[in-house]
Chains A and B, each alone.
Chain A
Amino acid sequence: MPITLVMLSTDWLVWLLVAAIVGFAFYVRRREHLVEPWRRVLRSRSGMVSLLVLAVFVIVGLLDSVHFRQRLAGQPAGAKTAYAVDVLSLLDVVCEPLRQRREKTYSAPFATELYAKETMELADGRQAREYPRLKHGGAHLKDPPSEFTRDVSRRALGGAAGGVIAWLLVAALVSALLAHRHTLRVSETWRRIWRGRMEVPWGAILLTLLVLFMVGGVVFALSAKYHIFGTDKVGNDVFYQALKSVRTGLVIGTLTTLIMLPFAIALGIMAGYFGGWLDDVIQYIYTTLNSIPGVLLIAAAVLMVQVYIDKRIAANPELLATTAERADLRLLLLCVILGVMTWTGLCRLLRGETLKLKSLEYIQAAQALGVRSLGIVTRHILPNVTHIVLITVVMEFSGLVLAEAVLSYVGVGVDPSMISFGTMINNARLEMAREPMVWWSLAAAFVFMFMMVLAANLFADAVRDAFDPRVRIARAPAGLAPAKA
């Protein structure tokens, strides 16, 4: 199918971020002292489990970050190629049936009929108020009441079985690789995995994979024929919307920190290292910004940005050809605004840490040996504050995902045409007042958001525990340590 690739501005940044992470991983791999804290993350059971769950979301988000436009069908040869206005992503292709199978209006999860009665003409010519059958959800059933339970359980079991088979393959591969690496027999490796005698908690990892595979299999098998989270007011599949929201959440959670990081690091270290009037100015800037209540500053900034975008579009309609590009620009600007809000915390932390490091002997020695300031900052200070940067980035992620929902509710979040957790909740809120209630949009947003934020929180804890020297020393035996301190 002829297509043209569309790189939205956030797509560029998302892939830049991926490249940066891969590059960082290669850099770390060759340096033993940098690998060590990551080993601690690898050994943490909750860290690895949450990382796997996060990985599922990241895969969905990355699939949704490759955009393109299809060529319109039926064009005369030789004419200038025209492309469809819809910007699609790889995720849309994967979920093609979910996207296409639109119902008329609300339908409950797993429903085979619409949620509202309609006047229908019966076979004998009389009219009656009935629940009409759905066009797609459960359309393969001849007589839903008698077949429904059997069909759903058959499909669910099939999906789960598929998941287990796929998992067995992965588990076999993993144990074979581990056996090869530790020069053990496969059966011995298998035993050690399940008795928790490996350095990395492979047992927990494989168990999580089993759950993920089974859930994935069941969801895959059922969503092929039913709307597993129902449909919304205009009949769109809610499960598909929840999947699309993942990218928005991830983009806000990661790009915001990516954008603010250079400023926070540069200003924080400069203030701490050089001191004097530079320190005063930087401190003044972040205290001032910090003293404006967050939501209000964001609201004010987003209002202004919206005026700006509208002005630009009114002046030059060609500038942002598709709604997707327009929504994407707003998303990017929202990240920038949130970044301006959040850099102050990190900046302050880095300033304090730099002040502390500056008075240490090795920095004084470097100064005495005539190393230039730039050299000291990049070679001696920057590497020693990396853990603070890393911890802040990971800790901030979940807060930003939650903030997006609130901001979209207030009306200063993402563009209303962009699917996100915030817009889903915002739309669903009015449906709560309906009688009978439409609860599934909220339920879907809740489940997805909760899983994502919980996994992010747990992973952030694992990273903090592994990297923060203070936590490592002062940490009271948490978790299930037997002895009481």
Chain B
Amino acid sequence: MTAYIIRRALYAIPILIGVNIFTFLLFFIVNTPDDMARMHLGLKRVTPEAVAKWKQERGYDKPVAFNAAAPGLTDKLTQTIFFEKSVRMFALDFGAADDGRNIAREIKTRMWPSLAVALPVFVVGLAVYITFALLVAFFRATYIDFWGVVLCVAMMSISAMFYIIGGQYLISKLWHLVPISGFQGGLDAGKFLVLPVAIGVVSGLGGAARLYRTFFLEEISKDYVRTARAKGLSEGTVLFRHVLKNAMIPILTGAVVAIPLLFMGSLITESFFGIPGLGSYTIDAIRSQDFGVVRSMVFIGSVLYIVGLLLTDISYTLVDPRVRFE
């Protein structure tokens, strides 16, 4: 088991290097730092001095990948944009944002509000979706099933933004139940979190419940279910004792990959509700074209996704005894 996990972890390394090189190419080769400087400073009235200053402030004035001017081989390789901006990300050193703040420290403080929204959405969501899907599967081939699926498809067809706008309008503006947006630490966080969490759960219901329903139906058509029925078990026992457990395998392993990404939060939820998490950090960076922050978030997102894949592999072996590690 340990050997298996280590091997899977080693597989992740080339992928991380690939992501790193890819983002480097995207951010520094497709457009040179000069282009970015001109874009930031305004295209027309820009002097070479201003460009040079902009580059120097951000450390973009070094050679791209090989510094021939530096003394010694180590310095030749490290005194470059590629090393300073890309390779150092492996050590979780992301440098400073355009406003001068340290990106790594910013990420450390901002990931908790993100998690405070994303984790409840994940847990409550999973419970609600499974319950709903199981209910629909229990009443399969009846009107309840039919209209349940229709409801799912209709809910899938609504953009997540409409859920947020509608929820904010109805709950906060019309009924004044909770604040429309904002965030506070500690116990007060509750009243700010209720609405985003509820909306997060509702907006995901259609797609997830429909997917889980197919998992349940697939299990129901298997032979062991027929055996269980032939033994004289009631439909409820069959569903809860046998089908649910087996259908949990694809559900859980599909959900595990998303767990590390919960730290990243959701872009639109956080932006609409004014939650100072990583999602709103990213969206602000995109809007103010802060390339350093966007690049760091791309890298962190990939790292977390790869960790998620690793967790998926491990959870497969844990929940499904048929899967063996070679």
Q: Which A residues are within 8 Å of any B CB, using their own CB?
A: 284-285, 287-289, 291-293, 295-297, 299-301, 303-304, 306-308, 310-311, 314, 398, 402, 405-406, 409-412, 421, 425, 429, 432, 437, 442, 446, 449-450, 453-454, 456-458, 461, 474, 476-481, 483-485
Contacts and interface: CB of A to CB of B under 8 A. Distances in A.
Interface residues of B, number: 59
Interface in B281-302: 282-283, 286-287, 289, 291, 294-295, 297-298, 301-302
B153 A476 contact: no
A382 B6 CA distance: 38
5 contacts: A293-B301, A297-B298, A406-B267, A442-B165, A476-B141
B157 A450 contact: yes
Given A288-B15, A299-B286, A425 B301 contact: no
Nearest to A479: B146
B294 A308 contact: no
Contacts of B169: 432, 437
A429 B165 CA distance: 8
A429 B181 CA distance: 14
Contact of B297 (A296, A398, A409, A456): A296
Nearest to B160: A406
A425 B161 contact: yes
B145 A308 contact: no
Interface in B278-326: 282-283, 286-287, 289, 291, 294-295, 297-298, 301-302, 305-306, 309
A403 to B, nearest CB: 9
Nearest to A302: B286
B206 to A, nearest CB: 9
B41 interface: no
A229 B212 CA distance: 38
A432 B301 CA distance: 32
B153 to A, nearest CB: 5
A288 B13 CA distance: 11
B69 interface: no
Interface of B: 14-15, 18-19, 22-23, 26-27, 30-31, 35-36, 38-39, 43-44, 140-143, 145-146, 149, 153-154, 156-162, 165, 168-169, 217-218, 220-221, 261, 264, 267-268, 271, 282-283, 286-287, 289, 291, 294-295, 297-298, 301-302, 305-306, 309
Contacts, number: 152
B294 to A, nearest CB: 5
A310 B43 contact: yes
A288 B159 contact: no
Contacts of A437: 169
Given A479-B141, A480-B143, 4 more contacts: A295-B267, A410-B268, A411-B283, A442-B162
B267 A410 contact: yes
B305 A307 contact: no
A474 B294 CA distance: 45
Contact of B157 (A306, A398, A476): A398
Nearest to B40: A307
Nearest to A305: B30
Contacts of A479: 141, 146
Given A296-B298, A300-B23, A303-B286, A291 B153 contact: no
Given A307-B35, A432-B169, A454 B157 contact: yes
B146 to A, nearest CB: 6
A485 B226 CA distance: 10
B316 to A, nearest CB: 17
Contacts of A457: 153, 156-157
Given A405-B159, A461-B153, A478-B146, A292 B140 contact: no
B298 A406 contact: no
Given A292-B302, A296-B301, A478-B141, A307 B36 contact: yes
Contacts of B298: 292-293, 296-297, 300
